Every structure is written in structure tokens, then in C-alpha cells.
Homo-oligomer: A and B are copies of this chain.
Amino acid sequence: MKMKLLLSGLALALGSGYALTAFSQVKPDVLVKQRQAAMTLQGKYFGPMGGMAAGKVPYRADVVTYNASLLDALSRMPWDGFTESTKDLKDVKTAALPAIWNEPAKFKEAQDNFQKAVQNLVAVSKSGNEDAVKSAIGGVGKTCGGCHQNFRQKQ
């Protein structure tokens, strides 16, 4: 009985699209959607910090600490979505460049640089030193740009 309740909760929760991801190989178009979702949310939480570092929005230390911690989680999410199965999709819009699969070591390095820069920002954001925090935000921005420059189609 308890398991029945649990399963009906799960079915409601998963919806039709996601049931597949739990029980079988994830479809390439779902992988693309998931990795793009991670990038969208990286934009959501990095954007305001970028604005602060550039002096365009007021600096708020609490927002930086919060956003940095969420960006830390998000920085781990896109990469397993770049499987070979997503390489030559029709009917799916993606800006991913072939270099992702042609230069896997460089792509991995770019991911690592980004994750390290975010983890550095998380640490620095706890220091309360505004200049150091802004510089760490800039460091994250550079690693985003580094990856986009080589592995994403120009927008």
C-alpha cells in the first residue's frame, strides 16, 4: 500500500517525458534540453554577479554568496549531456560545435577551469572582501567565455 502511494506520487512527479530517463537510456533530444537548461540557469545566477563586477548593478554580498553556491551545483550539470548521441541531431537546435567531440581533452579542460573558478568564487565570497569577490566573479566570466569561444557557435 505504501509502495502504491509512492509510485502514484512518482508517476505524477515524473510526467511522461521523464519516466524514460529513470528506466532507460536517455534520448538525445532530452540530453540537449537538459544541458541547455543547465546553461540557462548558469546565466540566471551568474548574470547579476557579472553586473555587480562590472559596476552596473549594486553590489550585494549576500546575493553573491547565494548565487555562487547555486552556480557551484549548476557547474556540474551540463557535461554528461554532451554525448556522441547528440552530435548529429536533426530537428534539435543546438549551438554545440564539433570541437566538443573532436577535442575532448580541451573540452574537459575548459569544464574544469570553469568549475575551479566557480569553487574559487564560493570560497572568496565568504571572505567579505568586495574587490576580491569582484575579481573572482571576473575569473568565472573568463572561463565561461573560454568555453563558449571554442565550443559554441557564435550567437
Given the interface pairs A48-B21, A51-B22, the reply to whether A145 lies near B57 with Cβ below 8 Å is no
A87: Cβ under 8 A from any B Cβ:
no
CB pair A23–B56 under 8 Å, yes or no, is yes
How distant is A71 from chain B, measured CB to nearest CB, in Å?
9
Interface residues, chain A, with chain B CB atoms under 8 Å away: 2-3, 5-19, 21-23, 33-34, 36-38, 40-41, 43-44, 46-51, 53-54, 56-57, 69-70, 72-74, 76-77, 135, 138, 140-146, 148-149, 155
CB pair A43–B14 under 8 Å, yes or no, is yes
How distant is A19 from chain B, measured CB to nearest CB, in Å?
8
CA distance A4 to B31 in the complex (A): 36
